[in-house]
Amino acid sequence: MSLPNCLATTQSPSSSSSQLVGDANKLYTPFKTPPNFQPSPFTHEFIQSLGNKFAIETLQESARKLEEKVRVLMNGTNMEPLNLLELIDDIERLGLSFKFEKEINKALLKIVSMENFEDRTRKSLHETALLFGILRRHGFDVSQDIFMSFKDEEGKFKVEISNNVKGMLSLYEASYLSLEGESVWEANASSRTHLMNLMKEGLMDVKMAKKVRHVLEGLPYHRSCFRLMARQYINRYDKMEPHNLLLLELAKLDFNMEQSSHQNELKELSRWWWDIGLSRKLKFARDRLVETFIWSLAIFPRPQFARCHKELTKVGQLITILDDIYDIYGTLDELKLFTDAIERWNVNSINTLPDYMVLCFLAIYNTINGTAHDIFIERGIKCLPYLTKSWSNMCKAFLQEARWSYNKIIQPFNEFLQNARISIAGGVILTHSYFFVSKDITDQVLHSLTNHHDMLSSAFTIFRLTNDLATSTDEIERGETSNSIVSYMHETSLPEEKVREYFKTLIDKEWKTLNKYLVMDSIFPKSFVEVVINLVRSGHYIYQYGDGYGRQNNTLKSQIESLLEYPF
């Protein structure tokens, strides 16, 4: 599907706004112990020094030739369906799927239209599971009945398939695309258990054991940010035997080209962030430009969305500063004034604000007005009321959490989660994203963005729970009560470990709702459904190894460095 590019760079606040800060370095925390946020390892100087040695024009010419060879391969008439499916799977995992969307869709249509399609699904568990997963990822409404030949009379997966390592691994991955009520989900836990037992008993060769361990210890492919994980797969693919040399060379060229583009985008963003002055003036807040940029790449992995990366990074940076003002710095009286100012969206409101809030308000006001201006100029769409409404809703949710924390109130879990779905900022991110990627703006979708449509509710729930699973330990140590884990522990008297296990089952349940929108028509354009699911994937990516945003870990840091600094 071809998607429109999003909009031009927003206008940054005037340099005079940086002179409005008076007491910004006075740390006044009335009800919390301030966190000791680490300084970002990715400084302005580091970002400006980025650059790889390759000439983009040369890489592009080489890539075009390789792409044509891969297309010839995919369009060949002699390739067996299983070989074609494995080729598609490798293309996707190598980060190349956007280059071959037409060819992939054509190949899948060819496979499902075969006269012996139903018979083919009985030949191999590996092929059947691979087909099921790829078809669902690409929006084909394939039935779980495809697995009937691998089930017994009671509808359970047959015991004898448990020794089929390759098939069980593909079934495990495919189970993550199940819908609510489908029995294929039952294969998730059982296939995982069988694979772990086979590994422990030494019943698979070294290479297969290494592959199985990687899959079981990492994120399932369907929930991962495949463009951000492409480098790791390229490294593994290079060692596989056999592997397709055309794909490998193309993947490395594409990675280097994308890296060069990202470096240039980030340099421009770093200049904007430096000029806006928030990180230098508001020392208490997190400075996470690079991490926010990586987040934007996860949400907009399509190469044509470079301009969206910049827009969404700006939004994310401003959300982060605002979150820290509400969470650790402002007094309740100041936060009430700021929330009112955002709701009114009137620059005269700065007269009621302390100086550090003036700087923050003007940065948000100028940036979002600039975005709305660019959208109107380019497409004639009046989006400012919807953008500002999303910011107002988020600030109100921030303020509610601040009140709970200040008064040491622990809300019942469902009441807390209702507010937390808004405070996680997914509404702000997706409202902006909707105007970035959607050609036709509809009242139905605009209404759904703020009225808890079940797709968005599921997305925000997962986004919140993945965040809290990673950040709650630090928050509890600081004495915060506004946290989903604390709320559920208080309500149920369960220990933290049990609550964490339960939250993982909630995440699995909400994913089944999201999967439904991959294969059904809805009020949402497919381009926007893709963004919603990528938002959820981005949360898994950032928080997989703990709080990769607030308190960086070496794993995420090294992944970011490999994405931005080191070419093939």
Both 197 and 293 in a single domain? Answer: no
Both 217 and 351 in a single domain? Answer: no
Name residue, tokens 């506004």. 482
CATH number at residue 547: 1.10.600.10
Both 404 and 314 in a single domain? Answer: yes
Both 410 and 523 in a single domain? Answer: yes
Q: Would you say 543 and 470 are in contact if contact means Cβ atoms under 8 Å apart? A: yes
| pLDDT on residue 552 | 66
Instruction: Give the residues across from 151 on adjacent strands.
Output: 157
Average pLDDT over residues 533-543: 96
Phi, psi dihedrals of residue 157, rounded to the nearest 5°: -65, 135
Both 234 and 294 in a single domain? Answer: no
Exposed, middle or buried: residue 406 (CB in 10 Å: 0-12, 13-18, 19+)? middle
Residue 40 counted as domain residue? no
| pLDDT on residue 502 | 97
Both 230 and 329 in a single domain? Answer: no
Average pLDDT over residues 521-549: 92
Both 158 and 281 in a single domain? Answer: no
pLDDT confidence band for 471 (50 / 70 / 90): confident
| pLDDT on residue 554 | 79
pLDDT tens by residue, 364-373:
999 999 999 9
Both 200 and 292 in a single domain? Answer: no
pLDDT tens by residue, 105-163:
999 998 888 756 666 555 799 999 999 999 999 999 999 999 999 999 888 999 899 98
Residue 22 counted as domain residue? no
Residue 29 counted as domain residue? no
Nearest Cα to Cα of residue 24 among 325, 459, 236, 437: 325
Out of 24-33, 53-62, 423-432, the most confident range is 423-432
pLDDT value at 262 more than 60: yes
Both 345 and 408 in a single domain? Answer: yes
Residue 243 counted as domain residue? yes
CATH number at residue 66: 1.50.10.130
Both 467 and 354 in a single domain? Answer: yes
Both 494 and 416 in a single domain? Answer: yes
Exposed, middle or buried: residue 332 (CB in 10 Å: 0-12, 13-18, 19+)? middle
Q: Would you say 444 and 523 are in contact if contact means Cβ atoms under 8 Å apart? A: yes
Residue 300 counted as domain residue? yes
Cis bond before residue 242 (omega within 30° of 0) = yes
pLDDT value at 488 more than 80: yes
Residue 260 counted as domain residue? no
| pLDDT on residue 120 | 53
pLDDT confidence band for 328 (50 / 70 / 90): confident
Residue 299 counted as domain residue? yes
Domain boundary (250, 266, 286) is at 250
Domain boundary (233, 250, 267) is at 250
| pLDDT on residue 503 | 97
Residue 484 counted as domain residue? yes
Domain boundary (215, 250, 285) is at 250
Q: Would you say 459 and 532 are in contact if contact means Cβ atoms under 8 Å apart? A: yes
Both 152 and 202 in a single domain? Answer: yes
Q: Would you say 310 and 9 are in contact if contact means Cβ atoms under 8 Å apart? A: yes
- Work out how many domains the chain is built from and give that number: 2
pLDDT tens by residue, 86-106:
999 999 999 999 999 999 999
Q: Would you say 220 and 176 are in contact if contact means Cβ atoms under 8 Å apart? A: yes
CA 300-339-548 angle, to 5 degrees, is: 40
Q: What is the mean pLDDT of the chain?
A: 89
The domain of 283 spans: 277-564
pTM, entire model: 0.91
